[in-house]
Amino acid sequence: MVFMRVDLEEIKREFAKFLKRKNMKVTQSRLKLIDLIAEYGKHFEVEDLVNWIATRADKNVSRSTIYRTIKLLQEFGVIKEVIKLNNRTIYEFVAGKAHHDHLVCTECGKIIEFVNEDIEKLQDEVCADYDFLPSHHRLEIFGICSECKAKG
């Protein structure tokens, strides 16, 4: 269980505003899903999340609604697709976190986050060179983590 430093209630209030701006309804399911994702943990795959939620008799949200809401939460910005490896997509709950990139251990699957301002700056320079207007980016470095390296 990971405790988030962010205020979930605050996120839900902001999400409600976001929905209203889009003339969409503020439903129980949509708000519940934020709680559920926060409780589930930081990184997740949709399928695992769906199965986990299915075991919780109290807070049922269906597979379709989960998929539909995840799209909204991505648009809202509280969730991001972070890793695309093989055919798996790993999402991340990023509320209140600065942008960061990832080191992915191909041995044990561990995901290490890092921030490097210089890399970000260089990316902006590259974009400027190509007259390209960046909206977001994804940097994944695959390899072997310290622990797996030690194990051989």
Q: Residues 51, 60, 62, 116: which binds its own copies (CB under 8 A)?
A: 116
Partner touching 46 among DNA, its own copies, none, CB below 5 to 8 Å by kind: DNA
Question: What residues numbered 75-94 form the site for its own copies, per CB under 8 A?
Answer: 84, 89
Q: Residues 6, 46, 103, 105: which binds DNA (CB under 7 A)?
A: 46
Q: What DSSP letter does each residue of 90-118 carry, written as one string? A: EEEE-TTPPP-EEEEETTT--EEEE--HH
Question: Per rule CB under 7 A, is residue 61 in the interface with DNA?
Answer: yes
Nearest to 31 by CA among 15, 44, 18, 42: 15
Structure-token pair, residue 128 = 């400027």
Question: Per rule CB under 8 A, is residue 130 in the interface with its own copies?
Answer: yes
Structure-token pair, residue 93 = 């709950």
Interatomic CA distance for residues 43 and 49, integer angstroms: 10
Considering only 54-62, 99-107, 118-126, 128-136, which stretch makes contact with DNA by CB under 7 A?
54-62
Question: Per rule CB under 8 A, is residue 24 in the interface with its own copies?
Answer: no
Under DSSP, the state recorded for 112 is E
Q: For residues 37 and 64, is the Cβ–Cβ distance under 8 A?
A: no
Question: Per rule CB under 7 A, is residue 21 in the interface with DNA?
Answer: no
Interacting residues with its own copies (CB under 8 A):
84, 89, 103, 105-106, 112, 114, 116, 118-119, 122-123, 126-127, 129-146, 149
